[in-house]
Amino acid sequence: MITPDAPPGSPTAPARRPSEGLAPLARPGFGAGLKAVLGGYGYLFRTPDLWPLALVPTGIALVLTIALAVVGVKLAPSLVELIVKEPGTGALWTALMVVLRILSLAVVLVAALAVSFGLAKPLSGPALERMVRRAEADLGAPAWPDVGFFADMWRALQSSLLALAFTLPILLVLGVVGLVFAPASVVVVPLQLAVTALAGAWDLCDCPLSIRGVPVAARIAFVRRNLAAVMGFGSGLALLSFLPCALLLVLPAGVLGAARLVVTLERWEATKGLSR
């Protein structure tokens, strides 16, 4: 458990009092992560006074996604030409080029989504912080010290940059593999979704942790200890991303679900002494 009075650089602090919430009896796992995603959407829909705040990250992510997608669509043909320098002839070659163009579009659109949501989080940091504090207060968690505007954006940017640094190289490699060897798309596309889901889960779960002023290394350690629950959370986000309306609210609803999941994980760790 990480508390606001923990010394700088310390990833741990004393456990909270039992009166501050009931800890789960078993370690929260994959199912708890899935449940947290749905809980975040449900909490947002039940709390209309949060809707104006939810429009901030949603609007930023939407504008960035459209802008980057337009640029990506224009660059996609150049990507195909870079790989296939001497096009052949015949029906088979024509079909292959069509597949390559479709795959190139898929790659740039996935990259546009990853970059957009990665940047939208720090740009809308103050709004997301207020939403997290409200959700944690309703769960009975203690209030954390206020974080300055620029400090909050910097911590959020650290998280997003780390997610992008991990995600983009892997997505690009997988995208090139899919372009060069089209049949590999059967494996490449699910891997791209899994990598994107893990990065998204890290980025959102990191938000409630960064509010506490926890160093990046300690946040990574927390996620590693609870990887099953975080992967469940990321998988839930990935599944909901196929629903257009759900995707528009993935940042505000996702960060609310992440706050609920982090509080649950902290309470379980406190009972087991894992946070010390």
The CA distance from 203 to 213, in Å, is: 15
Determine the distance from the C-alpha atom of residue 244 to the mean position of all C-alpha atoms in its chain, rounded to a whole number. Answer: 17
Q: What is the DSSP secondary-structure string of 3-17? A: -TTSPTT----PPPP
Amino acid symbol at 44: L
Distance set, CA 271 to CA 126, 214, 229, 246, 267 (Å) = 31, 20, 17, 35, 7
Determine the pLDDT at residue 17: 37
Structure confidence at residue 72 (pLDDT): 80
Query: Is residue 56 a contact partner of residue 124, using CB atoms and an 8 Å limit?
Result: yes
- Which residue bears the tokens 């669509």? 73
**What pLDDT shows up at residue 99?**
74
Quick one: pLDDT at residue 21? 54
What is the predicted pLDDT for the residue at 229?
92
DSSP state of 7: P
Q: CB of 99 within 8 A of CB of 182?
A: yes
Residue 14 contacts residue 220 (beta carbons within 8 Å): no
Question: How far apart (Å, rounded) are the C-alpha atoms in residues 204 and 209?
Answer: 9
Beta strands in 132-273 (DSSP E): none
Total-model pTM:
0.70
Q: What does the block give as tokens for 40?
A: 């975040």
Average pLDDT across each block of 10 residues of the chain; the chain has 276 residues. List them in order: 42 39 76 91 92 91 88 76 63 73 76 77 84 89 71 67 75 74 71 76 82 79 89 85 73 91 89 63
